[in-house]
Amino acid sequence: MPPKTDDRLRDIIEGIGHVEVRTAGKSLTDFKASFDLQLMVERLLLIVCEASHRLPEELKSLGTEIDWRGINNFGNRLRHAYHTIESETVWNIVIADLPRLKAFAEAQRRAGSHN
């Protein structure tokens, strides 16, 4: 059975939660110095991007504050142009974009009625 919308929202929330735990108290310098951390965060972002991409359009239309196209484009870069991704870009996403996406996903899960 394919994942349901609620499963996708959970994947987004959990993926971002793992990123938050592993980057808490860290700086861009720390992030750039740890190849393992970079790989872990990029893998988690790939999961978050894929789950976001698979959300129904009508649900995404409720999140006007989310750059859905940017999420999809970044996921494509992670999959196909990984060699072009800079640590600063990933770090900026972690700091600036993930909290907003997590808040949206949490609010939608609380609202329920997702199959």
pLDDT exceeding 70 applies to what percent of the chain?
97
Average of per-residue pLDDT values in the chain: 96
Q: What is the rounded CA–CA span in Å between residue 33 and residue 114?
A: 40
* Residue 72 identity: N
Other CB atoms within 10 A of residue 81 CB = 9
Digit-coded pLDDT (tens) for 60-80:
999 999 999 999 999 999 999
pLDDT band at 114 (very low <50, low <70, confident <90, very high): low
- CA 60-3-92 angle, to 5 degrees, is 50
* Residue 103 identity: A
